[in-house]
Structure 1
Amino acid sequence: MPRYPRLFLFLKNWFFLPLVVLCLPLLVLLGQEVYRDLKLLRSADTDSVQWTLSQVEIEYLDFLLTLERNSDPQRADLSVVRKDFDILYSRLGILSNGKLFASVREIDSFLNSVDKLQLFLDQTIAFIDGPDDTLRLAIPSLLQQTATLRPEVRSLFILGLARFARDSDMQRSQVFSTLTQLAIVSLTILVGLGVLFIYSLMANAQIQARGRALTRANARMRTILSTTQEAVIVADTMGNVVDLNTAAESTFGYSLAEAKGQSIGDLIVPAEQQQAHRMGFERMVRTGKSQLIGTGRVRLDARNADGKRFPVDLAMQSAQTEDGDVIIGFLRDISQQLNTEAELRKARDQALAGEKAKANFLAVMSHEIRTPLNGLLGNLTLISKTQLDADQTTFTRNMEVSGRQLMHHVNSILDIAKFESGKTSVTQSVFHLGRFLQEIIDSQSGHAGHNQTTIEWEWLGSSMAWVKADQTILEQILLNLVGNAIKFTHAGRISIEVEQLTPHDGDCNVELRIIDSGIGISEADQARIFEDFETCDSTYTRDSSGTGLGLGIARRMVQLLGGKIGVESTPGEGSVFWLRLPFLSVAEPASVGGEEKVKASDRSLSILIAEDIETNAFVARRLLERDGHTVTIVTDGLSAVARAKLELFDVILMDISMPGMDGLQATQEIRNAPSPFCDIPILAFSANVLPEQTDHFRASGMNGFIGKPLQLPELRRALQAVLKKSLSINSAPPENPQPNSVDENATMAQDLLDQSEYDTFLGRFLAEGDALLAELAQEPLETLGLETIASKCHQIRSTASLFGATDFAISLGHIETAAKQEDAVVSLIEIAKLSDVWAATCKTLDPNRTSAPVAE
């Protein structure tokens, strides 16, 4: 039903018409009263305004006269001067701030005069409020300045009086005009009442015409609803069906005659959802609000007359009709749409599975190839140490070169597989950039010398000393690029230029350029040289071997560091490979020598060590006893709890990974013991010093941690913190140790142990390493499982660090992390690299060894 103005509906009711007629005499009386007030208003004047304006001028003249009378400093009456000034100042303040003069201040000349007077008075305040002598001397000057302002004061009076006179005339005219209009309106109302009465009759005719138009519109709308493919159901506020279209009949299997008056929940809502449906309708009736009306489309389950369930998209709206409010539901069967989406997801999952299978295939196949290849290289090494004739020596050398070249290709494929699996991460470390680059040059100078090529590096402009970045990845990138430069440069020159970028290229602040005078790269090849399995033209492939993976790996590594890589080259003249990388400039780290100056504790401590690895426990005992402490060793968590509940120690060093009860469980048991045993400081004694792990240690009741391998300065600091009752004991092995087969930790072990003890423990470590490599060589995922692999790697890892086998310890840490994360692919990749690291470690620790076990 159309909505018409309320006035029409009001006038249609004859009951209210006499009331309107009775109001007319009141309107006449009101008009008389207003007219009488207007006559009084016309005679009003603006005496108060005129008086104020005149007073400003009078007070000004009074102040001027006072200044003249007191111009003689010897006879000046300063109190009168100050009083007249204050009066004038207050009078001018009325003009400046009074609401009565707001309209006058809109006149520019009036406002300018007020501002000039106000400025003069503000400047004079300093003399008025100042010392008497200053005021006496200033009176002549003030008199002269005051006299010059007389035209401005006169202008204020004239302009203000004229403006208020004009405003008063306009106001009286406006009120008189309003009264006249009121009389006209009153007369108009009388005429309008008659007109509206006639118009109400016409409005009835219009309502009937619009009703017929609405009927036609409803017919058109019904036609549209009957032909649409979307089901439309109309229900009242109680949830009973009022109407539905043809599509709804087809979708749900009910005719309009069958459904009308039935509960929509009983018809199309599944049985288990009907209770929630009824509660929703009851809440809507009670509160007038619904969670679904006007909120867009939602996905629900529905059922048809046969009881078949299917998914639908539902949108709901409310509307008003002559019979009350209704709710309109628009439903669409989306079964086919969901089936299509499921097929698309399945196709996507299959594609992703294919990519993962490809990466797994590369990793597993490369891993499987390394097993016989390592055996082949190992046996070639053994053969080369036997008596061979000249031809056999040549053949053996050729086979070894080919084998190591094949191993290099397999390693490249392993790196690609690791990148594709997303398991390569950045590890920041602090290092000296200049020394690092010199080590790169030194390591490649021999290779370059074979090609009669010189190699060097230099800074362009200002240099950086100590920086923080991923040294291992940077080293691999530079070795790759420098190796390529050497490969394609004969009797030439290779240089590395380093320059700080100003301004920065985003986060990149350093550019490294590897410049060679080799054969160069064509422009067409430059566009694809960083793709996988891409080499240049046949000239390259005849002069050198390669898979085309090196630059692809370099590109991935540079992107992982947040940098950029590119090439510029001219065939026959050489190439320039450039890297732009982010480096954080840092201060020089504290030297190891400085750390060794940490003094031992002032008093002897009673220390309990829970450590299941004999070598670690022995070294810890020697370190602590050398500083005068008393040490008790236990080999598992249960023994640690038993001793800690019987004897009051000063501190407990608790290993984390132990058989039976681990260190965290033992700590919780000790914390549950009676006082004072439960208050003993407990330090985690572990190689797991990542922030999230150490936070977990503290949450389990530990007071801090000491990292493995033990370092004397860190151990002493921790014990001093115990004496000071500090609850923030943090110690860890040196951050990101440099990648060397054996480091200075071995010196500490030799210093603590006599030669026989050192040889015994070293032999035991080498035997444990051989046993681990042998186990990892025989299908480790099937024979051991990831959990056992992680446990075995962790067990030997700290011992490896103790003997200075940093590279081996780092590799074991990578395998342990991947195994704990149940990442079989990365575990196999890291295991495949372990044998080379172990071989280098064994060669350094025991040069007399002829071979080492080979891991897959």
Structure 2
Amino acid sequence: MLTPHRTETRRLTWLRPALFGLAVLILIGLIGLLAMDLARKLDKLDRATSDNVEWQLSQMEVEYLGLVDVLENTRTAADLPELRRNFDIFYSRISTFREGMMFDGLRQAPGFSVTLDKLAGTLDHFVPAIDGPDSALLAALPEIRAEFRSHRPTIRQTALNGMVYFAERSDETRNSIAATLERVSAVTAGLIAALVGLVFVLWHFYRRAQFHSREAESSGARMTAVVETAPDGVIIADLGGVIRDFNDAAQRIFGYDRSEVIGRPMAETIVPQDARAAHEAGMKRFVETGEARIVGRGPVTVTARRKNGEEFPLELSLSTSHDAEGGAIVISFVRDITHRVAAEQELRVARDTALAGQRAKDRLLTVMSHEMRTPLNGMLATLELLEETGLNDRQRRYASIIGHSGETLLSHVNDVLDISRIDSGAETQTASTQIMDFGAIVRDIVDEQSALAQRNGSRVLADLPKATTVRGDPAALRRIFANLVGNAVKFTQNGRIEVSADRLGSSDMVEFRIKDTGLGIAPEDCARIFDDFVSLDASYGRSTSGTGLGLGIVQRLVRKLGGEITLDSKLGEGSLFRVRLPLPSAAEPAAARVAPAAPATPPVRIVTSEPLRILVVEDNEINRLVVREMLETIGHSVTEAVDGIDGVQAAAARRYDLVLMDISMPRLDGVEATRRIRSGGGASCSAPIVALTANALPHEAANFRAAGMNDTVTKPISRKSLQRALDLATGRGGAPAAHRPKDGSGPVNLAQLDELRGEIGQARLEQMFGLFRSEADATVAWLSDAPAHGVPAAEALAAVHKLAGSAAVFGARSLHAHLSELDNMAKLGQLDQACARLPEISPIWADTVAAYECIDSLAPRRAARIAASG
């Protein structure tokens, strides 16, 4: 039985060797680890030295090439400082190789010292020239260049020798260390075998830890790279508002360095003083309740503060996350939007400026129209009266000259107003809404211009296809060709003007060509010939005149119609204008063709059968005289008012059959005077009121109607324009005056019918109008029932589109306006809304038919219907 002492002794005997062996194993392990660490450090130290030397050798070659490059490019004294600096750098590098302790072994390498001494000798030889005066150095430059060019192989060989030397030394060192380690490994192999099992376990855990460490490092590196290279600023703060990270973009935005803001409260660093309370309250609310008004809600615009105190607009997005210790953090993504806000402000200012400029332009045109056309009105109208007083031939010739000059000036004013209308969009596009014969339009213009061409010794010829019935805008087409053919005739002496047209294949595009043999246009002027107010005096001489707006109007109209215009011309050889327009082919219904037929008879002038009491409200004395003379010579009684206030008082005191109201007047303008007459309940509150104005802009006419005016007559005033106002007063212009709608436009445009009758004759008008009535009666009845019978919207609105064209031709103003509105709604995709308004067509057509019954030119049709019904 073992005593406690023996048991303790035996235990100690076993324990001591075990502890000793354990200690040995620990020491061996430590020795092995130290040996491995020593070898790694030695290798690293050797490699670092070698790398440094190799860099030095490479840098020597780079600096040599830099010196040679500067030598090659040095030409003047201004280049010498750069040469001296590069020489000193290269000299310093060679001196380092010759004297540095690091290169003691390298200098023992075969051939290295020789080439190094050679380079040093060259450098020492040129030191006096480098350090000497600029003139001496400039003189020595050729020799220096030649000498250093010759050293290029020497430099390359020196670098290669050095690298070879250090490569051999590195290999020897590594081989020596490897041999040592192999001996240590052999001695310790047996000891390490006992630790294999333990090492295996430890290695397993080590690899796992290493894997997770690499993953964490890689993820952290990726995240750091993303944050640091992000174009937007990223600011990370804890829930206390203390900044924990600040990326490069944030530094650029706010002007702080990262070291300046880490650990500082965000509120005191980048939040403006007046916003800090709200910022701190929001952070506190988020910490206490988790309520987030900005976090995760997308970008918001706030005001921030830079380091220099400048406040600027900032786009801010907030998000939350956790740091490595699990603590909550707030990540702010910020973007400086100063330039964007400034750009938006500039755009707003530019827009406002443009709108103000457009308004100023409109005001200028209004004033110009009034101030220029008003005296023209007096001049031309007075000439018309003067021609009726029995002038002799000489006086008539003088009056003709004055009239021609006035018409020319009026044409210039109209050109400017046309430009304004087209640019402002005031002229609505009517292309593809009417069936027309463009051949007839072109031939009419050719006939009109032939007389002028003959005076210039020229001829105008037209070569047109047989099929010229298309859908398009006849008014715009007439203006385009009137300008182009008129220009060709004006600038062609003793030559030819040829107008031709062809459809391009099976497309809707028609190409028109206007070719002349005139003076032509220089190539450098062809690009600007379509600019406004351009008149090429150098090409056309001073024998012609004009505003230089004709081709500008043509280009605008062509573009508005979806076409294009080009010019080919050579100075002295004539010009060729090509105009391409989309003009779809169309059938030729009897009631819809817009083209003059055979010899036109002059329009029938309608004269009232009884004298009318007419109030003329006009501030211009000449205009009042002209209007009075024109009206009194045909038997009407005229009362004059010199401004709007006098006009209102006169209209309230006496019943007038017609009020002619000027627009621009002192004390009270015509628009406000009309409102007061309509609302005052005076004797003439319901009398027809017609605006006399030089303002030709369509939106102004809409304002006049809104004020209560029934129609607008544009100055200069003529008997024809006054007749329109008289027709309105007697009910001959449409429905009887007492039943005219308050906007005054009336359901029927009498002038349109008069013009159509003048073009095609009375008999043809009656025949075509009968077809139109039959077609319209049937179509209106069908459209009124279309919604109830489930007619497809597209089919019904196609009929609306077709009927709108016919209504425009026969002056059915109210019907055409309503149908055009429905047609526009359909084009905008509002099919259901348009179909819901189809029943409104029937009462409008009924009013239109009633207005037609009062028109004398359609009386035979009315009488025939009455006889048939009786």
TM-score normalized by structure 1? 0.44
TM-score normalized by structure 2? 0.43
